[in-house]
Structure 1
């Protein structure tokens, strides 16, 4: 265990994400299940990591991240149009529904159904929090050092 959050730390945290209107977008406190992140693995934005650096176990921080430092802006390239026939097996999707789609690489991607008009269904693959300032409330529960190992050649 280390004294404070550093680059390469594995950090167990409770967090609440709020939007500008004060509504809660997500909270680990509501389900009692903290989240585990590893700083430097690319899962967190640099802006968020910078606010966590130096916090001790039990440390709390409240801050806001602008769009560019949170979930990024809304990209029109991530809005796609599908034929309504593509949804025959799943059934007519409701506006606002989140559905999983298979990407070209075989990975699943969530998309939000934005509109159905004529034979076209509009699906938005932007993060639902993209384009918004996010207010964070974070509490560090545990910190561990993560050692990066290299593949070693076997000794003969």
Structure 2
């Protein structure tokens, strides 16, 4: 394996540990909790372009922390993603409370998380914005392995 294959490029497969923290240092997400590193292929859509840009050029074994403002991380909250639903849409056996995160089925069968923001009488306010929308985050990574998934741009000798 050449040195250049250990550097993250646009068609690299990357095995990494990451910690996602808020500015106050509180943990938002981490692969270290269950010691299960994340595996991703650059450009596969599992990370936003801004998160991927942080990884480009890093090498196997390297650790680095990046601070991303809300616009570069999960965006700003969109008022159009806040919906008011009738309480009857939630089963009576489901004791919903403010702050709960529930999975809502989409017409295409996929699920999207929604945070219960308030309950007033028969009206339930559900926020479908990413829970970290509007937050500056610290993206702390440790690159465990890098491999190439596509054709190399290196000339054949």
Mark yes or no: TM-score above 0.5: yes
SS of aligned partner of 1:67: coil
Root-mean-square deviation (CA), in Å?
1.4
Residue 99 of structure 1 and its aligned partner are, at CA, apart by: 0.7
Q: Distance in 1 between matches of 2:74 and 2:149?
A: 25
Does 2:132 correspond to 1:129? yes
Please list, as runs of the form range in 1=range in 2, the aligned pairs for 1:58-69 lying within 5 A after superposition: 58-69=61-72
Residue 88 of structure 1 and its aligned partner are, at CA, apart by: 2.3
Please list, as runs of the form range in 1=range in 2, the aligned pairs for 1:52-63 lying within 5 A after superposition: 52-63=55-66
List alignment gaps of at least 5 residues for structure 1: 149-156
1:140 matched residue in structure 2:
143
Q: Which runs of 4+ in 1 moved over 2 A?
A: none
1:106 matched residue in structure 2:
109
Residue 85 of structure 1 and its aligned partner are, at CA, apart by: 0.7
1:3 matched residue in structure 2:
6
User: Deviation digits for residues 15-54 of structure 1, max 9, x if unmatched?
Assistant: 1111011111111112101011111122212221111111
TM-score of the two chains, using structure 1 as the length reference: 0.89
SS of aligned partner of 1:51: helix
Residue 107 of structure 1 and its aligned partner are, at CA, apart by: 1.1
Q: Number of residue pairs matched?
A: 148
Corresponding residue to 1:33 among 32, 36, 43: 36
SS of aligned partner of 1:16: strand
Q: Distance in 1 between matches of 2:91 and 2:59?
A: 52
